A = this chain, B = another copy of it.
Amino acid sequence: MSKPVILISNDDGISSDGIRALWRSMRKFAEVHVVAPHTQQSAVGHSVTIAQPIRAYKVLIDKNFYGYAVTGTPADSVKLAIRNLLKGKKIDLLISGINHGSNTAVNVIYSGTVSAATEGTILGIPSIAVSLASFTYGDFSAAAKFSAVIAKAVLKHGLPKGTLLNVNVPPVPKDKIKGVLITRQGKSFWDDYFDSRMDPNKREYFWLSGRMSLKDKSTDFDHPAILDNYVSVTPLHYDLTNYEIIDDLKDWNLRV
């Protein structure tokens, strides 16, 4: 039986440790291709580059293995991989990550990591986003192991059309992880503020900062699950319609 073909991308850039950990884990059972942004793209959300051209060039990922660095966003990278760089190749699975930092709750909508997986899903490829829930904890080994398990499960079961998986792994060693929970996207959000500062020429500038404001308590939600040392797996789609209020809006009788 031939190996499955896996496309890896991310938003931390092609030189990140997370993408290398993912490639090392996937290459054990799959033919792996890496196409990712050339630089760090965090919080780019689901953006695409239309006002200017993009380029792709080969870079060394690991011993004798090369990937493509793309001068664009995560979604650009996935589009260019599927439409041009790997054209004609049947891709069985896309994995985006491993991101250094969580992508949970309301923050999912700012996530370049999730965006790459969303783009794969739009283009008809079963897709997974994986994040290690810490900016500082640097051991990607447990996250890489869980990525392999979840990748194999998706290759076996498939995913419904238009649905991707958003995986977040707690920043602890594998033996401290209690298991995997299927969760929903929470309502916690980044309670942010702008630091107002003066530049050397006495002109004001602003820098975004903040902290997670935890609104969800049960491990049915993504962020509490990882805080309790579970791997969180959330099925996402990109139909944003709030069906519940369609009938109420019809009663507004809008007219000019």
Residues on A close to B: CB < 8 A? 40, 42-51, 53-56, 75-76, 79-80, 83-84, 106, 108-110, 115, 118, 122, 145-146, 149-150, 153, 157, 159-160, 162-163, 165, 174, 177, 179-180, 182, 184-185, 187, 189, 192-194, 196-197, 203-208, 231, 233-246, 249-250, 252, 254-256
Q: Can you list 23 pairs linking A and B with CB atoms under 8 Å apart? A: A43-B49, A46-B109, A47-B47, A48-B208, A53-B205, A53-B207, A75-B110, A79-B208, A83-B193, A109-B238, A150-B254, A153-B254, A160-B244, A160-B245, A162-B242, A165-B249, A180-B255, A182-B249, A184-B239, A231-B254, A235-B241, A235-B245, A235-B249
User: Is A50 in contact with B54, judged by CB distance below 8 angstroms?
Assistant: no
Residues of B within 8 Å of A106, CB to CB, are 122, 238
Known A-B contacts A45-B115, A255-B179; A206 and B242 likewise in contact (beta carbons under 8 Å): no
A contact patch SS? mixed
User: Is A256 in contact with B50, judged by CB distance below 8 angstroms?
Assistant: no
Determine the residue in chain B with the shortest Cβ distance to A150. B254
Give bound CA distance, A254 to B56, whole Å: 36
Min CB–CB distance A103 → chain B (angstroms): 11
User: Is A256 in contact with B79, judged by CB distance below 8 angstroms?
Assistant: no
Residues of B within 8 Å of A110, CB to CB, are 46-48, 75
Contact of A256 among B75, B76, B145, B203 (CB under 8 A): B145
User: Is A205 in contact with B54, judged by CB distance below 8 angstroms?
Assistant: yes
Known A-B contacts A55-B206, A84-B206, A149-B255; A47 and B49 likewise in contact (beta carbons under 8 Å): no
Give bound CA distance, A34 to B50, whole Å: 26
Most buried by B among A43, A157, A203: A43
Most buried by B among A115, A197, A252, A254: A254
User: Is B256 in contact with A146, judged by CB distance below 8 angstroms?
Assistant: yes
Contact of A208 among B40, B49, B146, B182 (CB under 8 A): B49
**Known contacts A45-B75, A149-B255; 8 further A-B pairs (Cβ under 8 A):** A46-B110, A47-B47, A47-B110, A56-B206, A84-B206, A160-B245, A182-B250, A233-B249
Known A-B contacts A206-B54, A255-B149; A160 and B233 likewise in contact (beta carbons under 8 Å): no
User: Is A208 in contact with B50, judged by CB distance below 8 angstroms?
Assistant: yes
User: Is B109 in contact with A204, judged by CB distance below 8 angstroms?
Assistant: no
Known A-B contacts A122-B189, A149-B256, A208-B50; A235 and B239 likewise in contact (beta carbons under 8 Å): no
Most buried by B among A83, A153, A160: A83
